Amino acid sequence: MSGREVLEAYRGRPIYSLIEKGYYRPWDPLRVSHIRGWDIHVKSGSWQVEGVLRMLFHVLDPEVAKDPANLIVYGGTGRAARGWEAFEAIVETLMEMSEDETLVVQSGKPVAVFKTRREAPRVVISNAVLVPKWADWEVFWDLERKGLTMFGQMTAGCWSYIGTQGILQGTYETFAFAAEQHFPEGSLEGRLVLTAGLGEMGGAQPLAVKMNGGVALVVEVDRRMIERRIRHGYLDTWTDSLDKALDMALTAKERREPISIGLLGNAAEVYNEILRQGVIPDVVTDQTPAHDPLSYVPLGLSVEEAEKLRVEDPERYKRMALESMREHVKAMVEFKRRGSVVFEYGNNIRKMAYEAGYRDAFEFPGFVQAYIRPMFEEGRGPFRYSSLTGNPKDIYRLDDEIIATFKDNRRLVRWVEKARQHVKFQGLPARVVWLGYGERARFGKIMNSLIRLGEIGPMWIGRDHLDSGSVASPYRETEGMLDGSDAIGDWPVLNALLNASAGATWVCFHHGGGVGIGYSLHAGFGLVLDGTKESEERAERVLTVDPGLGVVRHADAGYEKSKNIVCEKGIKTPMIKC
Ligand code: NAD
């Protein structure tokens, strides 16, 4: 069918108005563009519903999503909706529903709309959840093939992904913490960081290292991903020659010049080759999609060969991927033994290598245990917001507000200044700042009053599922908890229930994000601020209970800092005597 014929087929349907405005193009593989401006497209006339619609369109914009033609946003196969039919049904339901109804989404497919009440969430979402005994990739893929489920990663299926920036601050902070902990100068100046993977999350690494003053050498198997990162300003230069890359990296290290270098190659091979050449980087990590053996590209295969084998013989593909991960992790352990600071960056590669027979795979720690836990103890985590009207000025106005409000938090101020300078917006302009308990509610209220005063337009607030009280992931966020509660899955369930009770605009509960099916449970939310009194109250409640549960989760596990916050801030917990 020609574009015109497709257009005619949609005439009379609610989504037609979005097609007319060019936000949705069913004839184009890159179908979706983010929606800007003040026109409301939903019948209810409510920003609470329009905001959901806009974030769904935003995550699928080609500027934001990794593979928008297949509704894949990031992280291997993290999707926003089960398929295009489901996407259209979600969109049209949002356009037609009223402000006291709730849309129910089961793994990317809209299944019902119920009358609830205005203060309730407009959408509730569950993604990829399987009964524990069945919770592995084999069962998941089988059910996915039958069209019964969808992998939502952490924020893809929760319509809360803001492009690589979302992970940039976390990555920046992680490298900053590592530098403070391991190097006397407290920065990465004159240090070489070796890592891999320039995907949606991993693509933040080169810029984060550079922002910390270091030299980043990043191995990536897919040339298109390298070019994409250069285009987005996250990577400076690239080569397909290891000798050239090492020469550039070691010269820059010597001169203490921050630079990021992409190297086209397979990490399992390149890491071992660097070892053989006797080069020992100061820091080694990795962000290949090891959580999913069908996404990780095995040794010896080009990207095209991998794509073919993945379809023709997935069993052989997985075997090869696991064997490659074993070699990859062996090299990382060897780097550690020879003096590098080594950590896993949340992709479960140690477990995969262990499964493939490498018993020493857990010789290096995960990044949360090593560097992020102290922030989680304070309920501090990745607080995100975006301008729903698509106005970058609103974000810059809020940058000023953050700097003024939290001027004593030097790390945060430094981040906002650097982000303003380096971050290119993808889709709706957005910002991420790590705020703690008390700070999030305070800033949410400031934001709402600026909207009421007409200084900025309506905003979306959300966060990564990687947060203080919203995730159970024993090889990542909850690795090595003080009381051994790593695998306790109640907390993310409670988080979702609590955020729904507090009146988030939408609430999501997911399985398998970050580390893969069987290894994590996590929850997230979206909150639309429109300047009204009602949205101020929602913000106060949601932005208090959400990080509050994180503080309680850590206090319950015995972390002293969290217990002190519970007592100082008067969080009511029957189990702690202040
Ligand atoms: P992605 O799928 O968008 O990108 C992965 C990249 O790795 C791709 O560009 C791919 O070409 C490349 N790659 C695959 N195999 C390779 C190999 N053998 N050698 C070199 N490059 C290879 O994934 P992403 O969103 O960037 O996430 C990467 C990993 O990090 C995932 O496992 C994800 O679950 C995990 N993750 C980390 C965090 C975090 O906080 N750090 C958060 C979420 C997810």
Residue 31 lies inside a defined structural domain of this protein: yes
H-helix or E-strand spanning residue 435: strand 430-435
Q: Are residues 456 and 539 in the same domain?
A: yes
Residue 226 lies inside a defined structural domain of this protein: yes
Residue nearest ligand 1's atom 42 by CA: 514
Nearest Cα neighbor of 169 from 440, 375, 443 is 375
Residue 282 structure tokens: 């100061």
Residue 534 lies inside a defined structural domain of this protein: yes
Residue 506 lies inside a defined structural domain of this protein: yes
3-state SS assignment for residue 537: helix
pLDDT of residue 228: 92
Separation of alpha carbons 379 and 217, rounded Å? 33
pLDDT of residue 173: 87
Q: Are residues 197 and 344 in the same domain?
A: yes
Phi-psi region of 300 (alpha: psi -120 to 50; beta: other; left: phi over 0): left
Residue nearest ligand 1's atom 2 by CA: 76
Q: Are residues 391 and 268 in the same domain?
A: no
Contacts of 205 (CB under 8 A, 6+ apart): 171, 193, 195, 197, 198, 216, 218, 285, 287
3-state SS assignment for residue 73: strand
Residue 578 lies inside a defined structural domain of this protein: no
Measured in Å, residue 521 CA sits from the centre of ligand 1 at: 19
- Given the DSSP bridges, would you call strands 471-472 and 506-511 parallel, antiparallel or unpaired? unpaired
Separation of alpha carbons 438 and 121, rounded Å? 23
Q: Which residues pair with 196 in a beta bridge?
A: 219
pLDDT of residue 200: 85
Residue nearest ligand 1's atom 43 by CA: 514
Measured in Å, residue 272 CA sits from the centre of ligand 1 at: 19
Q: Are residues 359 and 403 in the same domain?
A: no
pLDDT of residue 552: 98
Contact call for residues 505 and 99 (beta carbons, < 8 A): no
H-helix or E-strand spanning residue 220: strand 215-220
Q: Are residues 535 and 387 in the same domain?
A: yes
3-state SS assignment for residue 53: helix
Nearest atom within ligand 1 for CA of residue 202: 26
Instruction: Print the domain residue range for 46.
Output: 3-63+81-145
Residue 416 structure tokens: 């906002």
Distances (CA, A) of 289 to 43, 198, 260, 521: 41, 10, 21, 18
Q: Are residues 234 and 335 in the same domain?
A: yes
Residue nearest ligand 1's atom 11 by CA: 222
Residue nearest ligand 1's atom 4 by CA: 199
Residue 424 structure tokens: 């290119």
Residue nearest ligand 1's atom 5 by CA: 199
Separation of alpha carbons 332 and 367, rounded Å? 14
- Given the DSSP bridges, would you call strands 123-127 and 101-106 parallel, antiparallel or unpaired? parallel
Q: Are residues 355 and 376 in the same domain?
A: no
The domain total for the chain is 3
Separation of alpha carbons 248 and 486, rounded Å? 42
Separation of alpha carbons 302 and 325, rounded Å? 16
- Given the DSSP bridges, would you call strands 283-284 and 341-342 parallel, antiparallel or unpaired? parallel
Distances (CA, A) of 132 to 97, 145, 352, 457, 565: 34, 20, 19, 43, 34
pLDDT of residue 362: 96
Separation of alpha carbons 128 and 59, rounded Å? 18
Pocket test for ligand 1, best of 73, 172, 221 (most atoms within 8 A of CB): 221
Q: Are residues 390 and 257 in the same domain?
A: no
Residue nearest ligand 1's atom 39 by CA: 346
Measured in Å, residue 146 CA sits from the centre of ligand 1 at: 26
The residue among 365, 383, 416 that closes a domain is 365
The secondary structure of 259-292 as a DSSP string is EEEEEES-HHHHHHHHHHTT---SEE---S-TTS
Please write down the HEC assignment for all residues of 406-425: CCCCHHHHHHHHHHHHHCCC
Contact call for residues 120 and 102 (beta carbons, < 8 A): yes
The residue among 365, 398, 431 that closes a domain is 365
* Residue 281: alpha-carbon gap to chain centroid: 27
Q: Are residues 284 and 208 in the same domain?
A: yes
Nearest atom within ligand 1 for CA of residue 268: 18
Separation of alpha carbons 506 and 508, rounded Å? 7
The verdict on the CB of residue 267 being under 6 Å from ligand 1 is: yes
Nearest Cα neighbor of 217 from 256, 263, 175, 178 is 263
Contact call for residues 247 and 199 (beta carbons, < 8 A): no
For the chain, 578 residues long, give each residue's pLDDT as a single digit of tens.
777 788 889 999 999 999 999 999 999 999 999 999 999 999 999 999 999 999 999 999 999 999 999 999 998 899 999 999 999 999 999 999 999 999 999 999 999 999 999 999 999 999 999 999 999 999 999 999 999 999 999 999 999 999 888 788 889 989 998 998 999 988 999 999 999 999 988 999 999 999 999 999 999 999 999 999 999 889 999 999 999 999 999 999 999 999 999 999 999 999 999 999 999 999 999 999 999 999 999 999 999 999 999 999 999 999 999 999 999 999 999 999 999 999 999 899 999 999 999 999 999 999 998 899 999 999 999 999 999 999 999 999 999 999 999 999 887 898 999 899 888 899 999 999 999 999 999 999 999 999 999 999 999 999 999 999 999 999 999 999 999 999 999 999 999 999 999 999 999 999 999 989 999 999 999 999 999 999 999 999 999 999 999 999 999 999 999 999 999 999 999 989 99
pLDDT of residue 51: 98
Measured in Å, residue 476 CA sits from the centre of ligand 1 at: 15
Residue nearest ligand 1's atom 36 by CA: 514
The verdict on the CB of residue 320 being under 6 Å from ligand 1 is: no
- Fill in the amino acid letter for 86: A
Distances (CA, A) of 452 to 89, 125, 203, 351, 534: 33, 29, 36, 49, 12
Pocket test for ligand 1, best of 229, 235, 347 (most atoms within 8 A of CB): 347
Residue 68 lies inside a defined structural domain of this protein: no
The secondary structure of 125-136 as a DSSP string is EEES---GGG-S
Q: Are residues 189 and 301 in the same domain?
A: yes
Distances (CA, A) of 69 to 16, 26, 76, 86, 259: 20, 10, 14, 14, 33
- Fill in the amino acid letter for 24: Y
Q: Are residues 357 and 378 in the same domain?
A: no
Measured in Å, residue 324 CA sits from the centre of ligand 1 at: 15
Residue 72 lies inside a defined structural domain of this protein: no
The verdict on the CB of residue 289 being under 6 Å from ligand 1 is: yes
- CATH number for position 456: 3.40.1770.10
The verdict on the CB of residue 246 being under 6 Å from ligand 1 is: no
Residue 357 lies inside a defined structural domain of this protein: yes
pLDDT of residue 296: 97
Q: Which residues pair with 381 in a beta bridge?
A: 435
Nearest atom within ligand 1 for CA of residue 75: 25
CB atoms within 10 A of CB 506: 28
Residue 341 structure tokens: 């600071």
- CATH number for position 248: 3.40.50.10730
3-state SS assignment for residue 78: strand
Residue nearest ligand 1's atom 16 by CA: 297
The verdict on the CB of residue 465 being under 6 Å from ligand 1 is: no
The residue among 315, 338, 365 that closes a domain is 365
Distances (CA, A) of 456 to 34, 36, 281, 386: 19, 14, 45, 11
The verdict on the CB of residue 291 being under 6 Å from ligand 1 is: yes
Q: Are residues 175 and 225 in the same domain?
A: yes
Pocket test for ligand 1, best of 74, 287, 320, 515 (most atoms within 8 A of CB): 287
Distances (CA, A) of 86 to 2, 14, 148, 388, 426: 22, 15, 12, 23, 24
Residue 168 structure tokens: 């940039």
Nearest Cα neighbor of 416 from 154, 110, 118, 165 is 165
pLDDT of residue 248: 98
Nearest atom within ligand 1 for CA of residue 171: 41
The verdict on the CB of residue 260 being under 6 Å from ligand 1 is: no
The verdict on the CB of residue 206 being under 6 Å from ligand 1 is: no
pLDDT of residue 164: 82
